[in-house]
Chains A and B, each alone.
Chain A
C-alpha cells in the first residue's frame, strides 16, 4: 500500500528501465526477496489461504467438516447481528480515523507554527497512547467510564448530575464511548505523522503568505493542509485498518454489549470460532472483513494519489 504513494517519476525506476536487461540477471532479484517472501508466505499467505478454504466448510473444530460452498457467505448477508457489527465498525472509522485526522491536523499545525518550546516533549506525550497495549488502555478506560468512575465524578463535581450515566452500559452512548477511546489512542500516531509532514514545508511559503496578508486560518487551509496530503493518506489508511479490525478494545470494555450494541466483526469472528464452534462461519466473517479493509484502503490510496498528482 505504501509503495503506491511513491511518485510516478521515480528516478530509480527510470534508470532501471533504461538499463539493458540481460536474461541471466532475470532471476537474481527474486532470490533476494525469497527469504522474506517465504516468511511472509508461511505466516500470512498460507493462513489467509487456509481461512478462505475453511470458510467454504461447515466445521465445529472437532468432527469432520462438510463442504458447503458459499453457504457461509450467503448466510452472512442475512445475519442482522453481523450487519450491526459492520455498521459499528463504520462508526469506529469516524472515531478512529476521521476525528483523529481532524484533531491531528489542528494540533500538529499549532505545534509547528507556534514554535512551542519543548516540542519533543509534546510529541512524546501525544504519542504515548500508541505505546500502551490496547488491553491496558481498555482496562483504564473501563475505570474512567464506570458509574462511579472519574468521568461521572467530574460531571457531578461540575454540577452536571443529569449527564452522568453508566457509559459502557448505555444503549445509546456505549458505542461513541468506546469510539472515543479509539480517538484517544490514534490521535497521537496521526499527529506525529502530520508533524513530520509539516516539518518539510519551507518556511519561505509561510513568510510570503504572511506578506500577502494571510491569517492563521488561511495559512492552515492554503499551505499546511495541501502540503500534508500524502501524510493524511497514510494516516487514514493506518487508522482505518485499526478501526475495522478492532477486537481487544471491545472485548475488554463491553464484550459487545449492552445487548449487541457495540459488537464488531472481529469480535464476531472470535465468538463464532471459540464460543459457538462455528469455525467455517467465523472464517467467512474474517475473509469478508479482510476484503472490506482491502477495498477501503485501496480507495483511500487511490483518492489520495489523485489529489496529490
Chain B
C-alpha cells in the first residue's frame, strides 16, 4: 500500500474520550507510517444529525461512529450505507475478543429488520452499565449495608424511608432518565430473552405479560411508598445526581457515565453496585456499548478501515482506554483502578458481561419507543397510569412496529 488517507468521523470530544482517540490515532500512524488519519470529531448530537447527510453524499468518510439504535445504525444498514464486517471479524477473531452479549449490539440483518442478530457492522470501544450509586458515609450512618440482591435493595429503600431520608433520587423532566431506572427493575423480573426481543424491537415477545406488569408495579409501589424525591417529573437529571453529592438522598439509579462527575464531587465517598436478582448471580441489567465504529459502503479502502477498527479495539487499546478514564468494553476488571467508584464500575461491568446479561436500552426498539416509554414512565411515576395501562401503551408501540416489519 502506498500513502493513504483514512477519514474517520467520531464523537469522542470530551476529556478522556478525546485523549484516548488522539493516543490511539498517533499509535496507528506510527505503526503504519504510510497512513494518514484525517479525523473529524463532533459532539454526539451533532454527529447524529450530520451523519445522515454525510453518508448519502459523495465524499463519505471511511469510518464513522454510528449510534446502535434502529433509527441510526439500523436505518443506515437498511439504506445500504454501511459495510457488513463479517469477513474481517473472522480474520481478526472479533468473536473471541468480544462476548456475544456485547457484539450483539452492533449486529443487524442486512435488510436492517432484525437487530441483535445477523452481520456485525461495527465495534464499540467502551461499555456502559446502569446501576445504583450511593454515599458510603450515608449508608453507614443509616446502618444499611450495600444490598447484595434485589430483595435486599428493597429493604434498604424501606429502611432509608423509615429513617426519614429520601431513599431514591430521580430527575425525570427530560423523560428518558426513568428508562434507566425501569431497565434494571425489569431485568430482575422478566426473562432476559424476552427483554432482548422487546429492546431490540424484534418480533416474538410481548409487553403485556405478568412479569412486565410486576416490574411496572414495583416502580409504582416505590412511588406510593414515597421513596422518590418530590416532583420527579419536574426535576432536572443533573439536579438529581447533584442531590446525591449534597447528601439529600440515599440511592441514585443511573449509568456508569455519571461515575466521573460523582467522584469529582464526592471523592471516595461514592460507591456503585448492580444488584442481581439472587445473591451471587450476575446481574441482568440495562447497559450497552459506546457508539460502534463502522465502515461506510463508500469507503475506497475497506481493508484499511477494518484494520483501523481492529487496532483501536485490541488489547493495547483497551489499556489505553482504561488509562484515560474510559470503561474498556473488554476485560474491564483487568484494568480496574485500585480504588474509587471506577473500580466498582469496572468490576460491575465485567461481572455483568461475564456472568450476567447486558440488556439493551429499551428505547432502541422502535423509532417511537423513546417517546412512548419516556411518556408512559412519566405517567406511571405520576400515578396517572396503572401498571397494566403502562404495559398496554408499550405493547401498542412494540406490536405496531414488529407487525409492520
Instruction: List the interface of chain A (C-beta within 8 A of B).
Output: 60-63, 142, 145-147, 165-171, 174, 254-255, 257-260, 271, 274-278
Counting CB contacts under 8 A, is B340 at the interface?
no
- B371 with A63: CB separation less than 8 A: no
- B52 with A62: CB separation less than 8 A: yes
Q: Would you list 27 pairs from A and B whose C-beta atoms are within 8 A, ordered by A residue?
A: A62-B56, A62-B75, A62-B76, A142-B173, A146-B236, A147-B230, A147-B235, A166-B235, A168-B233, A168-B234, A169-B173, A169-B231, A169-B232, A170-B234, A171-B384, A254-B173, A255-B175, A257-B375, A257-B378, A258-B375, A260-B371, A275-B367, A275-B370, A275-B371, A276-B71, A276-B368, A277-B71
Distance of A255 Cα from B382 Cα, bound (Å): 17
- B378 with A258: CB separation less than 8 A: yes
- A165 with B79: CB separation less than 8 A: no
- Which of A168, A170, A257, A260 gathers most chain B CB within 10 Å? A257
Q: Whole-angstrom distance from the CB of A165 to the nearest CB of chain B?
A: 6
Give the residues in chain B near A255, CB-CB below 8 Å: 173-175
Pick from A165, A259, A277: contact of B231, CB below 8 A: A165
Distance of A257 Cα from B172 Cα, bound (Å): 10
Given contact pairs A62-B56, A168-B233, a sample of 8 additional A-B residue pairs in the complex whose CB atoms are under 8 Å apart:
A60-B79, A61-B52, A63-B78, A169-B231, A169-B378, A255-B175, A257-B233, A278-B367
Pick from B229, B233, B371: contact of A258, CB below 8 A: B233
Distance of A170 Cα from B235 Cα, bound (Å): 11
Distance of A274 Cα from B229 Cα, bound (Å): 33
Distance of A278 Cα from B175 Cα, bound (Å): 21
- A165 with B234: CB separation less than 8 A: yes
Counting CB contacts under 8 A, is B403 at the interface?
no
Counting CB contacts under 8 A, is B239 at the interface?
yes
A-B pairs, 9 with minimum CB distance: A166-B231, A166-B234, A169-B234, A169-B233, A147-B231, A62-B79, A258-B378, A63-B79, A258-B233
Q: Give B231's nearest chain A residue, CB to CB.
A: A166
- B232 with A166: CB separation less than 8 A: yes
Q: Whole-angstrom distance from the CB of B100 to the nearest CB of chain A?
A: 29
Give the residues in chain B near A271, CB-CB below 8 Å: 371
- Which of A142, A147, A165 gathers most chain B CB within 10 Å? A147
Give the residues in chain A near B239, CB-CB below 8 Å: 146
- Which of A61, A63, A259, A260 gathers most chain B CB within 10 Å? A259
Q: Whole-angstrom distance from the CB of B251 to the nearest CB of chain A?
A: 18
Counting CB contacts under 8 A, is B379 at the interface?
yes
Give the residues in chain B near A277, CB-CB below 8 Å: 71, 75, 367
Q: Give B379's nearest chain A residue, CB to CB.
A: A259
Q: Give B233's nearest chain A residue, CB to CB.
A: A169
Give the residues in chain B near A258, CB-CB below 8 Å: 233-234, 375, 378-379, 382
Pick from A62, A169, A174: contact of B81, CB below 8 A: A62
Instruction: List the interface of chain B (C-beta within 8 A of A).
Output: 49, 52, 55-56, 71, 75-76, 78-79, 81, 172-175, 229-236, 239, 367-368, 370-371, 374-375, 378-379, 382, 384
- A168 with B173: CB separation less than 8 A: yes
Q: Give B48's nearest chain A residue, CB to CB.
A: A274
Q: Whole-angstrom distance from the CB of A162 to the nearest CB of chain B?
A: 13
- A276 with B233: CB separation less than 8 A: no
Q: A255-B174, A257-B378, A259-B379 are in contact. Are A147 and B229 (CB under 8 A)?
A: yes
Give the residues in chain A near B55, CB-CB below 8 Å: 62
Q: Give B383's nearest chain A residue, CB to CB.
A: A171
Q: A62-B76, A275-B71 are in contact. Are A260 and B235 (CB under 8 A)?
A: no
Give the residues in chain B near A257, CB-CB below 8 Å: 173, 175, 233, 374-375, 378
Distance of A40 Cα from B205 Cα, bound (Å): 53
Distance of A276 Cα from B397 Cα, bound (Å): 13
User: Chain B binding site: helix, strand, loop or mixed by DSSP?
Assistant: helix
Give the residues in chain B near A61, CB-CB below 8 Å: 52
Give the residues in chain B near A170, CB-CB below 8 Å: 231, 233-234
Q: Give A276's nearest chain B residue, CB to CB.
A: B367
Q: Whole-angstrom distance from the CB of B296 to the nearest CB of chain A?
A: 13
Distance of A274 Cα from B71 Cα, bound (Å): 9
Q: Give A142's nearest chain B residue, CB to CB.
A: B236
Distance of A149 Cα from B352 Cα, bound (Å): 39
Pick from A60, A146, A275: contact of B235, CB below 8 A: A146
Give the residues in chain B near A145, CB-CB below 8 Å: 234
Distance of A165 Cα from B239 Cα, bound (Å): 16
Give the residues in chain A near B235, CB-CB below 8 Å: 146-147, 166, 169
Q: Whole-angstrom distance from the CB of B223 to the nearest CB of chain A?
A: 13
Give the residues in chain B near A275, CB-CB below 8 Å: 71, 367, 370-371
Distance of A142 Cα from B229 Cα, bound (Å): 17
Q: Whole-angstrom distance from the CB of A163 to the nearest CB of chain B?
A: 13
Give the residues in chain A near B374, CB-CB below 8 Å: 257
Distance of A168 Cα from B239 Cα, bound (Å): 14
Give the residues in chain A near B379, CB-CB below 8 Å: 258-259
Q: Give B375's nearest chain A residue, CB to CB.
A: A259
Q: Whole-angstrom distance from the CB of A83 to the nearest CB of chain B?
A: 16
Distance of A189 Cα from B386 Cα, bound (Å): 45
Give the residues in chain A near B173, CB-CB below 8 Å: 142, 168-169, 254-255, 257
Q: Whole-angstrom distance from the CB of A137 to the nearest CB of chain B?
A: 16
Q: Give B55's nearest chain A residue, CB to CB.
A: A62
Give the residues in chain B near A165, CB-CB below 8 Å: 231, 234
Q: Whole-angstrom distance from the CB of A138 to the nearest CB of chain B?
A: 12
Distance of A271 Cα from B79 Cα, bound (Å): 21
Give the residues in chain A near B384, CB-CB below 8 Å: 171, 259
Q: Whole-angstrom distance from the CB of B357 to the nearest CB of chain A?
A: 28
Pick from A63, A146, A259, A278: contact of B234, CB below 8 A: A146
Q: Give A168's nearest chain B residue, CB to CB.
A: B234
Q: Whole-angstrom distance from the CB of B71 to the nearest CB of chain A?
A: 6
Give the residues in chain B near A276, CB-CB below 8 Å: 71, 367-368
Distance of A174 Cα from B175 Cα, bound (Å): 14
Distance of A171 Cα from B385 Cα, bound (Å): 12
Give the residues in chain B near A171, CB-CB below 8 Å: 382, 384
Give the residues in chain B near A169, CB-CB below 8 Å: 172-173, 231-235, 378, 382
Give the residues in chain A near B370, CB-CB below 8 Å: 275
Give the residues in chain A near B233, CB-CB below 8 Å: 166, 168-170, 257-258
Distance of A260 Cα from B235 Cα, bound (Å): 17
Q: Whole-angstrom distance from the CB of A278 to the nearest CB of chain B?
A: 8
